[in-house]
Amino acid sequence: MHSRLLERAAKYAPEYGGGSLTALPIIETQAGDVAAYIPTNVISITDGQIYLETDLFNAGIRPALNVGLSVSRVGSAAQTKAMKQVAGRLRLELAQYRELAAFAQFGSSELDAATRAQLDRGQRITEILKQLQYVPMSVEKQVMILYAAINGYIDDVPLDKV
């Protein structure tokens, strides 16, 4: 059922310039359950999904993107070569940070230095990914900032200055 709705949102006749129009389905999950019937069907049809979380939004992280559940089947084919080089490691760093942060909330006083450093870096990466509305950034600048963050060049920068 859902595939017929999304396969091709529109197809223009040659006399109108040809081409097709892509649909961007927006699905609300119930209690974050992506395994429910409708989300599962839509996920199986589309070329990926962006999963936004209310908890991240409420924590001031905007866009409130859950990197663990967001997927692109187009992926690196749509990225510049430089962005490809930083994006893979960035995704891993963020996923590890979120996992460690969830664990650390139960007792951060017992963390070793390496874990504390990884949490600190994750906080800085999260800060640099926050984006103000209507304030775009060039791809070149994005790559430079991401490279600096994942390679530790901003580890000593105070969090409020990131």
| Rounded Cα–Cα distance for residues 142 and 63 (Å) | 15
Q: Which of 8, 73, 116, 124 is catalytic?
A: 73
| Rounded Cα–Cα distance for residues 84 and 125 (Å) | 17
The DSSP secondary-structure symbol of 133 reads: T
Does the annotation count 73 as an active-site position?
yes
| Rounded Cα–Cα distance for residues 119 and 57 (Å) | 20
Alpha helices, DSSP H, located in 7-160: 37-45, 54-58, 81-104, 113-129, 139-150
Q: Are 120 and 155 in contact (CB under 8 A)?
A: yes
Residues with active-site annotation: 73
